[in-house]
Amino acid sequence: MSLAYELGYMHLVVESGSLDAINLTKDLRVKQNSPIIVLYIHESCGQPWEVWFSHIRREGNVLVDRLTKLAYMDKFDLVAFTQPPLKVHPFLFGDGSDG
Protein backbone atom coordinates (compact mmCIF):
# COMPACT_ATOMS: atom_id res chain seq x y z
CA MET A 1 0.00 0.00 0.00
CA SER A 2 2.81 2.40 0.76
CA LEU A 3 4.31 1.89 -2.71
CA ALA A 4 0.97 2.66 -4.36
CA TYR A 5 0.66 5.81 -2.24
CA GLU A 6 4.22 6.91 -3.01
CA LEU A 7 3.55 6.43 -6.74
CA GLY A 8 0.56 8.75 -6.45
CA TYR A 9 -2.28 6.29 -6.90
CA MET A 10 -5.40 7.82 -5.36
CA HIS A 11 -7.75 4.84 -5.82
CA LEU A 12 -6.61 1.39 -4.72
CA VAL A 13 -8.33 -1.98 -4.72
CA VAL A 14 -6.69 -4.54 -2.44
CA GLU A 15 -7.69 -8.13 -3.14
CA SER A 16 -7.04 -11.00 -0.75
CA GLY A 17 -7.82 -14.69 -0.69
CA SER A 18 -8.28 -14.49 3.07
CA LEU A 19 -11.77 -13.45 4.14
CA ASP A 20 -10.53 -13.17 7.74
CA ALA A 21 -7.87 -10.66 6.65
CA ILE A 22 -10.46 -8.62 4.74
CA ASN A 23 -12.77 -8.58 7.77
CA LEU A 24 -9.92 -7.44 10.03
CA THR A 25 -9.13 -4.52 7.73
CA LYS A 26 -12.79 -3.48 7.58
CA ASP A 27 -13.26 -3.61 11.36
CA LEU A 28 -13.33 -0.01 12.57
CA ARG A 29 -12.77 -1.06 16.18
CA VAL A 30 -9.04 -1.75 15.86
CA LYS A 31 -7.45 -2.30 19.23
CA GLN A 32 -3.87 -1.55 20.23
CA ASN A 33 -3.23 -5.29 20.64
CA SER A 34 -4.24 -5.98 17.02
CA PRO A 35 -1.57 -7.44 14.74
CA ILE A 36 0.87 -4.74 13.60
CA ILE A 37 -0.07 -5.22 9.94
CA VAL A 38 -3.73 -4.45 10.77
CA LEU A 39 -2.67 -1.27 12.59
CA TYR A 40 -0.52 -0.30 9.60
CA ILE A 41 -3.36 -0.90 7.14
CA HIS A 42 -5.77 1.20 9.19
CA GLU A 43 -3.19 3.98 9.42
CA SER A 44 -2.61 3.80 5.65
CA CYS A 45 -6.35 3.99 4.97
CA GLY A 46 -6.35 7.33 6.81
CA GLN A 47 -4.29 8.89 4.02
CA PRO A 48 -6.07 11.16 1.49
CA TRP A 49 -6.96 8.39 -0.96
CA GLU A 50 -9.65 5.78 -1.51
CA VAL A 51 -8.95 2.15 -0.63
CA TRP A 52 -11.34 -0.77 -1.19
CA PHE A 53 -10.81 -4.29 0.11
CA SER A 54 -12.18 -7.26 -1.76
CA HIS A 55 -12.22 -10.99 -1.05
CA ILE A 56 -11.25 -13.09 -4.06
CA ARG A 57 -11.39 -16.86 -3.79
CA ARG A 58 -7.98 -18.31 -4.55
CA GLU A 59 -9.51 -21.07 -6.64
CA GLY A 60 -10.98 -18.47 -8.97
CA ASN A 61 -7.80 -16.48 -9.43
CA VAL A 62 -4.99 -18.72 -10.67
CA LEU A 63 -2.86 -15.74 -11.68
CA VAL A 64 -2.69 -14.37 -8.14
CA ASP A 65 -2.08 -17.86 -6.78
CA ARG A 66 0.93 -18.22 -9.12
CA LEU A 67 2.29 -14.78 -8.17
CA THR A 68 1.99 -15.73 -4.50
CA LYS A 69 3.93 -18.94 -5.10
CA LEU A 70 6.65 -16.94 -6.90
CA ALA A 71 6.92 -14.63 -3.90
CA TYR A 72 7.61 -17.58 -1.59
CA MET A 73 10.43 -18.71 -3.88
CA ASP A 74 12.07 -15.28 -3.78
CA LYS A 75 13.49 -13.23 -0.94
CA PHE A 76 11.05 -11.57 1.41
CA ASP A 77 11.89 -8.15 -0.02
CA LEU A 78 9.33 -6.06 -1.85
CA VAL A 79 9.20 -6.92 -5.52
CA ALA A 80 7.43 -4.55 -7.89
CA PHE A 81 6.91 -5.83 -11.42
CA THR A 82 6.83 -3.46 -14.37
CA GLN A 83 5.73 -6.42 -16.51
CA PRO A 84 4.21 -9.75 -15.54
CA PRO A 85 6.84 -12.46 -14.89
CA LEU A 86 7.17 -15.02 -17.68
CA LYS A 87 5.99 -17.79 -15.36
CA VAL A 88 2.51 -16.26 -15.16
CA HIS A 89 2.04 -15.45 -18.85
CA PRO A 90 0.00 -18.64 -19.51
CA PHE A 91 -2.51 -17.51 -16.85
CA LEU A 92 -2.96 -13.89 -17.94
CA PHE A 93 -5.82 -14.52 -20.33
CA GLY A 94 -6.84 -17.95 -19.18
CA ASP A 95 -10.20 -19.12 -17.96
CA GLY A 96 -9.04 -19.52 -14.38
CA SER A 97 -8.12 -23.19 -14.73
CA ASP A 98 -4.74 -24.60 -13.92
CA GLY A 99 -4.37 -26.41 -17.20
HSE-up of 11 (CA within 13 Å, CB side)?
Answer: 0
Q: Where is pLDDT greater, at 9 or 67?
A: 9
Confidence band for 28, pLDDT divided at 50, 70 and 90? low
* Confidence tier at 75 by pLDDT (50, 70, 90): low
Mean pLDDT (the chain) is 78
| Pairwise CA distance, residues 8 & 2, whole Å | 10
The residue among 18, 25, 23 whose CA lies nearest residue 68 is 18
- Is pTM beyond 0.75? Reply is no
Output 95 or 55, whichever has higher pLDDT.
55
